[in-house]
């Protein structure tokens, strides 16, 4: 016999949790403070289940769902676990749990679906804080596999285990997180959005280009601007602001003024028809402009640029061995091709005494379909065309952007790795759970710690350090653990 599950809050998240629990065979009680909301949610769940069955997506009997709308808080007394999905407000959640404690059995588990509030703070003042914990589901709940299980300071270990076993039985993948701001996903994911906003503020590239490079070169399923439009800028900005506030306004989590402007203007994304992009009819994100076709050079000279050789192998252009070990590829016209390390092309040109084109990094140089490049100030047009033609010969869509430190993928991924290393260092979760959370909860193609090992902790540390020195901004300060791994040659994951 499956234990009774109660859901308080029949909005998108609450209804999604109720659907998953009901399909797993649990009697489900659904309550909402808004009259009629629970009934509408229950009807919507049944309609969605019928549609899924009709399309052959699931094997279930919609009529057999044990889903009941609860008329009052007192009617939740039979529940063995209550999951709240109400407004993200600490006072409201505390009040709800205090009321629930007077209704449910002493061993009933009380779980909060908060995305950023601490279960420890929510349990403050509760008669039995040992039974209160966080169960952070991700939207849309029926499709998203991840659940973050967050134990508060007073949560009993057997309660956390019981909750984890429950949602595992619903087909979810569980990761364990400490009750710190943002937990795993909403903490570690911030640079994916923040670096996009910074590049836009610096006019390094338009939104379409940033999105195209992060999908085509780095393998993310959606670019940050398209994803924020989908999530809703009000939701995304609120999470960023909550984490930033909880970390005493740490610059690493600082919200974007431009995104705040969108929220204040009511341009929330797809749900309002306009965010960064316009929607409706044929509208949506337009295609990013790419460099026009250019001729590849007849040869290049390799002066110890090991990190460019996989790209060069795709071009079919002869690569000759050079006599210097300077980590560059030399083009016939004398310009130098350099892999991104968080230093601008202009600064590198001053060091080398020759024009420089910096090439962005990718998830996998053998499969990437797009890449960003930036030329040093004063770089001759012929040199940039040579470099563009060379990269196009590798089958890449080339996006020439302004000379921003770290270009697009290099800086974004390095900052994701840096924050993941910091979360690992501070005991937010273990390495496996951090990487699992970012893959399943944020849709990243590779966990950030595994990505850091792929590039090398020393490389990532150098990138972050160069960004920190170049900007003089503490948001780019390297994680102490990342520095240790860079010095020792140890792995992050």
Catalytic residues: 115, 136, 148, 186
Torsional class of 393: left (φ above 0), alpha (ψ -120 to 50), beta (otherwise): alpha
Pairing status of strand 370-375 against strand 336-339: unpaired
Residue that the structure tokens 């300060």 belong to: 477
- Among residues 460, 422, 414, the alpha carbon closest in space to that of 187 is found at 422
Residue indicated by tokens 């701001």: 181
Nearest to 172 by CA among 3, 301, 19: 19
**Helical ranges in 217-318 per DSSP H:** 224-231, 233-246, 257-264, 309-315
Distance between CA 320 and CA 53 in Å, rounded?
A: 61
Place of tokens 């699992």: 436
Upper half-sphere CA count for residue 172 (Cβ side, 13 Å): 32
HSE toward the beta carbon, residue 151, CA cutoff 13 A: 19
Provide the token pair at 301: 């000279």
Query: Six-digit token pair at 454?
Result: 């792929």
Write the CA distances from 159 to 20, 112, 126, 128, 357, integer angstroms: 20, 13, 15, 12, 56
Per the CB < 8 A criterion, the answer to whether 376 and 403 are in contact is: yes
């Amino acid at each position: 016999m499956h234990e009774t599950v109660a859901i308080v809050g029949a909005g998108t998240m609450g209804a999604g949790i109720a659907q998953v629990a009901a399909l797993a065979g649990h009697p489900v009680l659904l309550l909402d403070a808004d009259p009629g909301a629970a009934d509408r949610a229950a009807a919507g769940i049944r309609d969605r289940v019928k549609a899924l069955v009709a399309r052959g997506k699931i094997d279930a009997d919609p009529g057999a769902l044990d889903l009941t709308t609860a008329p009052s808080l007192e009617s939740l007394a039979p529940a063995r676990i209550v999951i709240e999905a109400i407004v993200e407000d600490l006072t409201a959640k505390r009040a709800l749990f205090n009321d629930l404690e007077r209704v449910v059995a002493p061993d009933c588990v009380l779980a909060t679906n908060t995305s950023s509030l601490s279960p420890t703070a929510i349990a403050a003042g509760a008669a039995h804080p040992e039974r209160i914990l966080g169960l952070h589901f991700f939207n849309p709940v029926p499709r998203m596999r991840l659940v973050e299980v967050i134990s508060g300071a007073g949560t009993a270990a057997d309660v956390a285990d019981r909750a984890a076993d429950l949602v595992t039985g619903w087909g979810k993948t569980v990761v364990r997180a400490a009750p710190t701001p943002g937990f795993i996903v909403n903490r570690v994911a911030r640079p994916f959005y923040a670096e996009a906003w910074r590049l836009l503020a610096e006019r390094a590239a338009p939104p379409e280009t940033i999105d195209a490079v992060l999908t085509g070169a780095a393998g993310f399923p959606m670019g940050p601007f398209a994803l924020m439009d989908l999530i809703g800028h009000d939701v995304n900005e609120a999470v960023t602001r909550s984490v930033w506030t909880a970390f005493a306004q740490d610059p690493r989590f600082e919200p974007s003024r431009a995104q705040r402007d969108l929220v204040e203007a009511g341009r929330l994304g797809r749900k309002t028809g306009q965010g960064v992009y316009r929607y409706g009819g044929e509208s949506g994100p337009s295609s990013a402009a790419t460099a026009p076709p250019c001729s590849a050079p007849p040869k290049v000279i390799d002066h110890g640029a090991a990190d460019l050789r996989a790209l060069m192998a795709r071009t079919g252009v002869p690569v000759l061995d050079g006599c210097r070990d300077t980590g560059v590829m030399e083009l016939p016209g004398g310009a130098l091709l350099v892999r991104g390390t968080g230093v601008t092309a202009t600064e590198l040109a001053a060091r080398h005494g020759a024009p420089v084109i910096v090439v962005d990094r990718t998830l996998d140089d053998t499969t990437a379909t797009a890449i960003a490049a930036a030329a040093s100030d004063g770089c001759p047009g012929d040199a940039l065309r040579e470099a563009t033609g060379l990269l196009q010969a590798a089958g890449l869509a080339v996006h020439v952007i302004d000379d921003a430190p770290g270009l697009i993928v290099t800086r974004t991924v390095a900052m994701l790795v840096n924050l993941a290393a910091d979360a690992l260092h501070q005991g937010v979760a273990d390495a496996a759970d951090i990487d699992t959370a970012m893959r399943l909860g944020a849709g990243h193609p590779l966990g950030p710690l595994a990505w850091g090992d792929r590039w090398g902790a020393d490389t990532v540390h150098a990138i972050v350090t160069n960004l920190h020195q170049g900007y003089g901004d503490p948001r780019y300060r390297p994680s102490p653990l990342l520095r240790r791994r860079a010095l020792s040659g140890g792995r992050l994951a």
